[in-house]
A and B are shown apart, each in its own frame.
Chain A
Amino acid sequence: MTRVDPAETFRQEAQELLEQLETTLLDLEQAPADRELVDAAFRALHTIKGSGAMFGFTAVAEFVHGFETAFDRVRKSGQPISADLVTLALQARDHVDGLINDPDADTAGGARILTALDAIAPQEGGASDASVAEPVSTAAADGVAGRWRVRFKLPADALAMGTNPLLRLDELAEIGPATISALTDDIPLLDELDPECCYIGWEVVIEATDPQAAIEDVFLFQGDDLDLEVSRIDEPAGEAAAVPGDAPEEKAAPRSEVVTATSAPAAKAALLRVPAERLDALMDQVGELVIAQTRLSELTADGAPPALQGIAEELERLIGGLRDTSMGIRMVPIGSLFGRFRRLVSDLSRSLGKEIEFVTSGEETELDKTVIERLADPLVHLIRNAVDHGLENPDARVAAGKPAAGTVRLAAIYSGAEVTVTLTDDGAGLNAARIRQKAEENGIISPDAEMRDEEIYPLIFAPGFSTAAEVTELSGRGVGMDVVKQTIEALRGTIDLTSEPGRGTTITLRLPLTLAIIDGMLVRVGDGRYSIPMAAVEECVELPASAVDRRGRDFLNIRGQIVPFLRLRELFRAEGETSDFQKVVVVSAGDARVGLAVDQILGNHQVVIKQLSRLHSGLNSFSGATILGDGSVSLILNVAQLIGMGAMKRTPAGIEEREAA
């Protein structure tokens, strides 16, 4: 077994505690008088301090001690937590984060935070800070060996409480040559005797030099109810020095705090920490196994002996289970991200002077850890935009008859093999006229294009719609939205947007549950074989004879709906034989659909997704590649990107072309 460094464990633990603390502080902002939250914050601090000090994170422990002290004063005062205190506490939390990585990080900043915390926390009345520690023993040490008599009697319940008198006697005997005799006067008659009670006292005579401290150590854990008498017996009698049974063995504790633990996150099931790389390796190996199994199934499908076929089927079932379990291990609740956003919104609210109610739901919704990791930045961007550009100032809101506080909702919910994440604000909505103007200036649309508002809104996702330099003059959202869209699409997800002037904007992300293995449809285009994520496939239809060789008529009428389609043979400049019976695979993402004309549909298969190398990372038409049963490589189509291409056919230019044809 490899031993993990506790300091490393502490780092991880501290990270979790700091996240917890942040959540708690942000909750406190909403409910400043909630004592349970105050206690929870206090407890997080306390644990960081305690464990930090244990593993050499002295700077962390010291800073947190100051932080905790100020917080404790608030706790004891019973006053509600002020917004200023939350702000400071959040800063302090960030500082702790820094100190964990670098004990010398911004010492001056840390001192400033502590001073501010100290100033803001209610002052404690009285002199409770005065140390109550007393000198352990003032008995003059004469440095001469002597005979000492120790008489002691343990409280009646000492045995039950885990104190073993024999161990005490052994320890006393270690101090010096000792004579031990039992004091049996208090032993009751047999029928009154409780076998669990300790009735016996002892008298120990020790020969030692100044053994008082050592004797106190022996009874370190015994309290007021210990009956202890220590006296020097080779001196003239009468100077028995009673050692206070309650000798404080630590002098450095000026503060007292008895912590009540009330609120707490629900008890966690037994958890195991596993380095992420091991999960990735596991997933890779399961992927290889799935590929090998696919090959086996293909080989045994035709004409293998039934026994072999049976084994192949059994293997397929087992490996399917292994795959599901392995993917399950990688699932992480999206709530771990939401916590961070509360902080973001809180900070934005302060810096922009906007009141914001941030409402989240569906925290327990689980996604593959890679999806969660890569989702963080796009969501930060979207939330920032919603707060910065979406929500109006309080005055403007009131004037518009809305509550002064804007609402931003972030929700996650399962829908089939996908998770839908929606971000809704009740702000001013997108300004179609401005977006249009902007898009025209940047040459994204032609000035005479006829477009409805719903067609204009998505233009903010177009590359080159806007640049960072223009953010301040823009009321719309635009900066980096193309990057957001690309990131979501790289996750094989889609992004959609609806907006209503004066009412607000909703952005909808649809994300696959997992990135690693999906069901795919294998199609042939010329001599190439491509995989289409099954989750995106709506239906397959024959390519109508009228469309086979008519150019410019790349639209299908599917039950009265006009759906554009792409001829993959042309798009991919495919060589090799075509088919008289080309098929169109209709794929969708959100409300958008596109047909993909292929030569042949080969079947369904398990797709173990591999990322394309950096040499091919610019190819947005493919989201990855997979290895087929025969060992060859098949590219996976990026449905979102192809739908985007199909949508271009619907631009006015496309429609004109169609009408002219």
Chain B
Amino acid sequence: MSKTILTIDDSPSIRQMVAMTLAAEGHQVIEAGNGSEGYAKASTNTVHAVVVDLNMPVMNGIEFIRKYRQHPSSKGVPIVLLTTESDEALKREARAAGATGWMVKPFNPTQLVSVIKKVTG
């Protein structure tokens, strides 16, 4: 089933890769360049999943997740956090903030598809 997925990343190349990969799977993709923009889009669109980068200017990934989880529309929406490090403390922090899952960069399109499938079915 086609889903609307929001990708939030300050890196246009990663956004592009995420968008192309998920579009090829038949999903709608919305893009945002930082957490703040992402929050604006997440709270005004029906979003089925969010893929958010950790390291971003203006509002980073964890801050985004905390803020978005305050918004009622985030209920049940899986959020996948992208990081370059796989660090336990970070994962705990992300989970505490409300992340559903994470993915470590670099990842390839197949991995992305399987993670999205894992969180959205």
Does B89 belong to the interface (CB within 8 Å)? Answer: yes
A46, A164, A253: the one contacting B86 at CB < 8 Å is A253
With A6-B20, A47-B55 known, 16 other A-B pairs at CB within 8 A are A9-B13, A43-B55, A43-B56, A46-B84, A61-B106, A160-B74, A161-B78, A167-B120, A196-B75, A220-B101, A221-B99, A246-B88, A253-B87, A255-B85, A259-B54, A261-B58
Residues of B within 8 A of A40 (CB): 57
Contact yes or no, A162 B59, CB < 8 A = no
> 1/0 contact trace for A51-76 toward B, CB 8 Å?
10111000001000000000000000
Does A224 belong to the interface (CB within 8 Å)? Answer: yes
Contact yes or no, A163 B78, CB < 8 A = yes
Does A223 belong to the interface (CB within 8 Å)? Answer: yes
Pull 23 A–B residue pairs with CB atoms less than 8 Å apart, ordered by A.
A6-B13, A7-B13, A9-B12, A10-B13, A13-B13, A40-B57, A49-B84, A50-B11, A50-B53, A50-B55, A50-B105, A53-B84, A160-B98, A161-B78, A167-B120, A249-B86, A253-B85, A253-B104, A256-B88, A259-B54, A261-B56, A265-B57, A267-B57
Residues of B within 8 A of A452 (CB): none
Q: Which residue of A is nearest B107, CB measured?
A: A54
> 1/0 contact trace for B9-20 toward A, CB 8 Å?
011111011001
A273 to B120, CA, bound (A): 32
A50, A166, A256: the one contacting B121 at CB < 8 Å is A166
Contact yes or no, A55 B17, CB < 8 A = yes
> Nearest Cβ distance between residue B31 and chain A, in whole angstroms?
9
Residues of A within 8 A of B78 (CB): 161-164
Residues of B within 8 A of A220 (CB): 101, 118
Query: Which 10 A-B pairs have CB atoms at the shortest separation, nearest pair first?
Result: A264-B57, A162-B78, A250-B86, A221-B101, A162-B100, A10-B13, A53-B106, A261-B60, A9-B13, A256-B87
Residues of A within 8 A of B76 (CB): 159-160, 162, 164
Contact yes or no, B17 A161, CB < 8 A = no
Residues of B within 8 A of A276 (CB): none
Interface size class of B (residues with CB under 8 A): 35 or more
Chain B positions within 8 Å of A, measured between CB atoms, are 10-14, 16-17, 20, 33-34, 36-37, 49, 53-60, 63, 69, 74-79, 82, 84-93, 95, 98-102, 104-107, 118-121
Q: Which residue of B is nearest A45, CB measured?
A: B55
Scan residues 19-65 of chain A and give those whose CB is less than 8 A from a CB of chain B. 40, 43, 46-47, 49-51, 53-55, 61
Q: Which residue of A is nearest B98, CB measured?
A: A161
Does A545 belong to the interface (CB within 8 Å)? Answer: no
Does A127 belong to the interface (CB within 8 Å)? Answer: no
Residues of A within 8 A of B91 (CB): 223, 246
Q: Which residue of B is nearest A248, CB measured?
A: B88
Contact yes or no, A267 B93, CB < 8 A = no
A248 to B88, CA, bound (A): 7
> Nearest Cβ distance between residue A441 and chain B, in whole angstroms?
56
Q: Which residue of A is nearest B65, CB measured?
A: A161
Residues of B within 8 A of A171 (CB): 118
Does A4 belong to the interface (CB within 8 Å)? Answer: yes
Does A257 belong to the interface (CB within 8 Å)? Answer: yes
**Given A53-B106, A162-B79: A259 and B36 within 8 A (CB)?**
no
Residues of A within 8 A of B58 (CB): 261, 264, 267
Residues of A within 8 A of B63 (CB): 261
A397 to B20, CA, bound (A): 60
Residues of B within 8 A of A54 (CB): 13-14, 17, 105-107
Chain A positions within 8 Å of B, measured between CB atoms, are 3-4, 6-7, 9-10, 12-13, 40, 43, 46-47, 49-51, 53-55, 61, 132, 159-164, 166-167, 170-171, 196, 220-221, 223-225, 246, 248-250, 252-253, 255-261, 263-265, 267-268, 273
Residues of A within 8 A of B106 (CB): 50, 53-54, 61
Contact yes or no, A256 B13, CB < 8 A = no
A163 to B78, CA, bound (A): 6
**Given A54-B105, A160-B75, A171-B118: A256 and B60 within 8 A (CB)?**
no
A220 to B103, CA, bound (A): 10
Residues of A within 8 A of B101 (CB): 220-221
Residues of A within 8 A of B57 (CB): 40, 43, 261, 263-265, 267
Q: Which residue of A is nearest B108, CB measured?
A: A54
**Chain A interface mostly:** loop
**Given A9-B16, A163-B78, A166-B121: A248 and B86 within 8 A (CB)?**
yes
Contact yes or no, B55 A258, CB < 8 A = no
> Nearest Cβ distance between residue A21 and chain B, in whole angstroms?
13
Q: Which residue of B is nearest A167, CB measured?
A: B121
> Nearest Cβ distance between residue A502 and chain B, in whole angstroms?
45
The interface centre, meaning the residue of A10, A61, A221, A248 with most chain B CB atoms within 10 A of its CB, is A221
Residues of A within 8 A of B90 (CB): 256-258
> Nearest Cβ distance between residue A199 and chain B, in whole angstroms?
16
Residues of B within 8 A of A264 (CB): 34, 57-58
A220 to B117, CA, bound (A): 13
A520 to B10, CA, bound (A): 45
Contact yes or no, A259 B87, CB < 8 A = no
A53 to B83, CA, bound (A): 12
Contact yes or no, B87 A6, CB < 8 A = no
**Given A162-B119, A167-B121, A221-B102: A267 and B34 within 8 A (CB)?**
yes
Q: Which residue of A is nearest B53, CB measured?
A: A50
> Nearest Cβ distance between residue A620 and chain B, in whole angstroms?
43
Residues of A within 8 A of B93 (CB): 258
A7 to B106, CA, bound (A): 13
Contact yes or no, A51 B95, CB < 8 A = no
The interface centre, meaning the residue of B78, B82, B95 with most chain A CB atoms within 10 A of its CB, is B95
The interface centre, meaning the residue of B13, B37, B79, B86 with most chain A CB atoms within 10 A of its CB, is B13
Contact yes or no, A167 B13, CB < 8 A = no
B10, B20, B82, B92: the one contacting A3 at CB < 8 Å is B20
Contact yes or no, A224 B16, CB < 8 A = no
Contact yes or no, B10 A267, CB < 8 A = no
> Nearest Cβ distance between residue B91 and chain A, in whole angstroms?
7
A236 to B117, CA, bound (A): 37
Residues of A within 8 A of B36 (CB): 267
> Nearest Cβ distance between residue B13 and chain A, in whole angstroms?
4
A167 to B115, CA, bound (A): 12
Contact yes or no, A257 B17, CB < 8 A = no
Q: Which residue of B is nearest A43, CB measured?
A: B55
> Nearest Cβ distance between residue B28 and chain A, in whole angstroms?
14
A55, A162, A255, A261: the one contacting B13 at CB < 8 Å is A55
Residues of A within 8 A of B11 (CB): 10, 13, 47, 50-51
Q: Which residue of B is nearest A163, CB measured?
A: B100
Contact yes or no, B60 A50, CB < 8 A = no
Contact yes or no, A255 B87, CB < 8 A = yes
> Nearest Cβ distance between residue A9 and chain B, in whole angstroms?
4
